[in-house]
Homo-oligomer: A and B are copies of this chain.
Amino acid sequence: MTSAENLVKGGRKRSACPIASTLDILGDKWSLILVRDLLTGKQRYNQFCDSPEGVPTNLLAARLRKLEAQGVILKKPYQTRPVRYAYTLTPAGRALLPVLQEMSRWANSYIEGTWTPPEAFMSMKAKV
């Protein structure tokens, strides 16, 4: 049984289709890139900026806010003076791993010139 605090906030859904509902939350060019970065250990704003895709900073801030509001990620200060924030995945966020693994598998099979992810990533199990 999934407890209520582990659920994302769906907001307004286009339909009750699970695929459409997922896309309502994550269906854009940047959200899953951030989830990828979080799954591979990045935690801080500037680390996301440094990813090779080069997310615009205003979009980065907007996506982080949105994903936090939806319960996919968590933001909390890990130090004061000066205050610095760490972003982490919620259980719901971590559970996206299989989606990203399947995307990777697909891309490696059908898009030329994509990196093969580290074996560690592909064989990782989401511990929720």
Binding site for B on A (CB under 8 A): 2, 6-8, 10, 13-25, 27-29, 32-33, 36, 51-54, 92, 95-96, 98-117
Known: A53-B15, A98-B105, A110-B95. A28 touches B27 (CB 8 A): yes
A30 nearest CB across to chain B (Å): 8
Question: Can you list 21 A-B pairs with a CB-CB distance of less than 8 A?
Answer: A7-B110, A8-B110, A8-B111, A13-B111, A13-B113, A15-B52, A18-B108, A19-B103, A19-B104, A19-B107, A20-B33, A20-B52, A22-B106, A25-B111, A27-B32, A92-B109, A92-B110, A95-B106, A95-B109, A95-B110, A99-B103
Interface centre among A17, A27, A54, A107, by most B CB within 10 Å?
A107
B102 touches A98 (CB 8 A): yes
Instruction: Across the interface, name the chain B residue whose C-beta is closest to A101.
Output: B102
Interface centre among A23, A29, A98, A100, by most B CB within 10 Å?
A23
B103 touches A18 (CB 8 A): yes
A111 touches B32 (CB 8 A): no
